[in-house]
Amino acid sequence: MIDVALAGTGGMAPLPGRFLTALLTRINGQMLLIDCGEGTQITLKELGWGFKNLGCICFTHFHADHTAGLPGLLLTIGNAGREEPVTIVGPAGIRRIALSLLAIAPELPFSIQFVEIPSRTPFSIEMDQFRLSALPLRHGLDCFGYCLQMDRVGKFSAEAALALGLPKPLWGRLQRLETVEYEGKTYRPDMVLGPPRRGLKVAYITDTRPRPAIPDFIRGADLFVCEGLYGDDELLNKARDHRHMIFSEAATLAREGQVSELWLTHFSPAMPFPDQFRGNAARIFPNVKIGRDRLCKTLVFEEE
């Protein structure tokens, strides 16, 4: 399963009661954060998931409302007792940006590993329990959307394992996709596992104009978190000028990508009550929520 929390929902500047947009995920206790604007550590503290197990921070781009909270957050992670490395993922140049910010936090008790995404190039890496993919977006500088996917192996067949004469102590290794040797023979996981089952997918897109590649990138996501800087359709030209989206555009992407649920976020400071524009998205994609700070959801595998 994947626990998901929308840590903040604001764009451009934090407001009283609205922190800047960030998304926190948790898989088997290990956490990944996407974006870290000013004050992110405060809303994470209110969320209550802790800090020690936050091992990966991804950045969509280098505007301050997505990056300025990094030094304070890393200091808080260190004060929570973390000594294991923290991985920071972002566009090319993330090492330079992060190290500049960390000039005011020079003594961290853990090392930092950097993963730089090549400019304008689709990207995917395998992490401990999931796959992280990135897609180039259309903003004023290099910007990426992210997908986090948990794959699920096929169902284990005890009957097949018994027919092969495999003792039960070896079953777990095959379920973990290990190849095993037993009595001079090699046994592969596919000999005892059925076809792969549907996994889980979370997609996160912000600070961009719609792109033709986005629906395929987010396709089938259990949860799609997308920016809606403006709710009013009449502000479309303003959104175009600033390379952002309105609610109806985000909803169109959700429909085209055949996602299960849409959360809107990254609201303009000039839109204090985004709920009043929900209908502009719901008429296109009904299963939409207006994001609020620390909105949470647990995604679980489908029952069979």
- Catalytic residue annotation: 65
Concatenated DSSP letters of 56-77:
EEE-S---HHHHTTHHHHHHHH
Going by C-alpha positions, the residue among 115, 36, 114, 117 that lies closest to residue 77 is 36
Six token digits for residue 135: 């897609």
- Nearest-5° angle of CA 105, CA 110, CA 116? 80
User: Measured between alpha carbons, how far is 185 from 193 in angstroms, rounded to an integer?
Assistant: 18
Query: Which position has the token pair 């647990």?
Result: 298
Six token digits for residue 283: 């008429």
In the chain, alpha helices (H): 40-47, 64-67, 70-79, 94-101, 158-163, 171-175, 214-218, 236-242, 247-256, 278-282
Six token digits for residue 94: 């993330």
